[in-house]
Amino acid sequence: MAERCAAHGLRLVPMVVEISGGWGPSAKQVFKTLARATAERSGIPDSVATCQLYQAMGVRLQRANARAILFRTVASAANCSSRALATTSRTEAALLLCAVPACGS
């Protein structure tokens, strides 16, 4: 993937994100660079651009987490095996009961 990015004049920067929203050092450096560029282009303070960027990335992270949970829940429901259902959390089980018809119907 890094080679494909380089072929287009881009640099791939791997980033670590904790489920709770903690960002790794490389992510923080990229965000700082992006926020500074946004602030210069739009005329807003760096601190505002940084705050907006972290908020937007936090929302994207939560959406991705929700999508992953829903995908796994629906896949478990389609399987309808007790083993698959046993691996779901209580939250996922609640989503499963609300989102999918009962097994065998």
- Domain residue ranges of the chain, discontinuous segments joined by +: 2-99
pTM score: 0.58
Q: How confident is the model at residue 17 (pLDDT cuts 50, 70, 90)?
A: confident
Burial of 14 (0-12, 13-18, 19+ CB in 10 A): exposed
CA distances to 23, 28, 65, 96 from 17, in Å: 5, 10, 12, 27
pLDDT in tens, 21-46: 678 888 889 889 999 999 999 999 99
CB atoms within 10 A of CB 76: 20
Query: What pLDDT score does 59 carry?
Result: 85
